[in-house]
A and B are shown apart, each in its own frame.
Chain A
């Protein structure tokens, strides 16, 4: 019962990070770098928190969730590096 409560608390924190990180991309005043930072908050940190919450909720699915977490962090990091490289090109 306690584990269920803790996992739903982590899940709602992850959902809050999703909302906070996704809403600034609608604002046209921010630069693309700030948007990349907020998308990192949403897509890496929020999604990793959701994975942790799901792991507490259903521990028997740990291989699936571990593969998801590893691939998510690797892809997102390389992706934001490449997008930063494109935007910061000396022209």
Chain B
């Protein structure tokens, strides 16, 4: 049994998580600055990738298998959705 109050992160682990969060805000800014649909799909997929990796890193630092699973799930499903969106764009 893991008591959730015991599993705390070290300060440098918090630094890693916050740097990841700040980098993942850059694609959001980039989406708002462009008009081309192709570029928007690329930036949105990059945003999803980075957030999924932030969640996986948080789960591993915390020693929690379930949070890491959610991160892997977000990565696979989000990228699959973006892939289908870009295939649709290719057909048009």
Contacts and interface: CB of A to CB of B under 8 A. Distances in A.
Nearest to A39: B46
Given A58-B63, A82-B87, A85-B90, A64 B38 contact: no
Residue of B16, B27, B46 with most chain A CB atoms under a 10 A cut-off? B46
**B interface, over-half SS:** helix
**A interface, over-half SS:** helix
Interface of B: 12, 16, 19-20, 23, 26-27, 29-30, 33-34, 36, 38-39, 41-43, 45-46, 49-50, 53, 56-57, 60-61, 63, 65, 68-69, 71-72, 75-76, 79-80, 82-83, 86-87, 89-90
9 contacts: A15-B16, A19-B23, A22-B26, A22-B27, A43-B49, A47-B49, A57-B61, A76-B79, A86-B90
Interface of A: 8, 11, 15, 18-19, 22-23, 25-26, 28, 32, 35-36, 39, 42-43, 47, 50, 54, 57-58, 61, 64-65, 67-68, 71-72, 75-76, 78-79, 82-83, 85-87
